[in-house]
Amino acid sequence: MISVTMLGQSAESDIVFDKTNQRVLSLDQLDGLSQPSVLSLAQDKLGYIWAATQSGLNRYDGVKFRQYFTDNEGLSGDAITSICDDVSRDWLWIGTKSGLSIYDYQHDTMVIVLKEQYPNIPSDNIIKVSCAVDGVYVATLQNGVYL
């Protein structure tokens, strides 16, 4: 289940819960989420909310979900562990237990990045991807961090 909370701000610019300005939206499989365990969330510059689950990637447009899987969209794996929005390249980086994928917003396409293609990433078991101004950091299970 995804719960989205909009927070209000006080006069001192501290984030606080404001009962008149708070909105909680609960979304689950009945709303189109592929699986209830959400491991990572990201919001892109177009406003889409991306949810990484143990069974696929989900994009929420404010009304409905679009689901991405290995068999219909070319993900490297359906067990998504981490996602991050790379605003400098208009890409969503997707870490899975079976490799790394990149979603290209402009072309609506997936590219799979596997260790066979990039020997400097010795493991396909990605546990965390983190987007930064100077690049993307990739943490793998038992094989360290790669930039």
Quick one: pLDDT at residue 19? Answer: 59
**What is the model's pLDDT at position 25?**
78
Cβ atoms 122, 100 nearer than 8 A: no
**Could you tell me the residue range of the domain that residue 87 belongs to?**
39-146
Burial 85-118 (b: 16+ CB within 10 A, else e): bbeeeebbbbbbbbbbbbbebeeeebebbebeee
Per-residue pLDDT, 21: 67
Give the total number of structural domains in the chain. 1
Asked whether residue 85 is assigned to any structural domain, the reply reads: yes
- What is the structure's pLDDT at 22? 66
Looking at the domain assignment, is residue 25 inside a domain?
no
Q: Is residue 131 part of a domain?
A: yes
The answer to whether residue 13 scores a pLDDT higher than 80 is: no
116 falls in which pLDDT band (50, 70, 90)? low
Summarize pLDDT for 21-64 with one digit per residue, the tens: 667 778 889 999 999 999 999 999 889 999 999 999 999 999 99
Q: What is the pLDDT of residue 7?
A: 36
**Both tokens assigned to 33:** 């989420």
Reply yes or no on whether the pLDDT at 124 is more than 80: yes
**Strands of the 38-43 sheet, one edge to the other:** 38-43, 49-53, 56-60, 65-68
Read off the amino acid at residue 105.
Y
Q: Residue 139 falls within a domain, yes or no? A: yes
Is residue 72 in a domain? yes
Q: What is the pLDDT of residues 54-110, one digit of tens each?
A: 999 999 999 999 999 998 777 999 999 999 999 889 999 999 999 899 999 999 899
Q: Are 29 and 38 in contact (CB under 8 A)?
A: no
The per-residue pLDDT for 60 is 95
58: CATH: 2.130.10.10
